[in-house]
Amino acid sequence: MFVLQCDNEDVQQSLLQHVMKIAVCKKDDQEDFSIVLEGVQVMTGLGNLTRACAILLGFTYALNLTYPKQLRNTFEAFQKLFLELDVCRLSPKLQSLKNKLVC
């Protein structure tokens, strides 16, 4: 997730560097959440972070995207532990995290 100043002209240039992000655009004490996939802002006006996360996960499933390498464990934990999707196949790292969270 990254924060943008909406009045900045370099916003589109900075988006090109991101594969999969939730962007927060701040303007006049208002926050607007949007989803960036492969450098393109695909959805804006999501209202809150929870909705943005759910829609990002939906895009990932619908478009059959692979998780970015550096965020793979984060997205996997979000998907399998918190949303309880595909919980029967946990990696050893996620199984360890789940055990620590349950205890």
How does 35-44 read in b/e, with b if 16+ C-beta sit within 10 Å?
Answer: bbbeeebeee
Which residues lie across from 26 on neighbouring strands? 5, 31
Q: Is the pLDDT of residue 95 over 80?
A: yes
**What number is the average pLDDT over the span 22-31?**
79
Domain count, the chain: 2
* The overall pTM is greater than 0.85: no
Residues 86 and 52 in one domain: no
Q: What are 41-85's pLDDT values in tens digits?
A: 888 888 888 888 888 888 887 877 777 788 888 888 888 887 787
Task: Please give the residue range of the domain that contains residue 5.
Answer: 1-64
Q: Looking at the structure, tell me whether residues 1 and 27 fall in a common domain.
A: yes
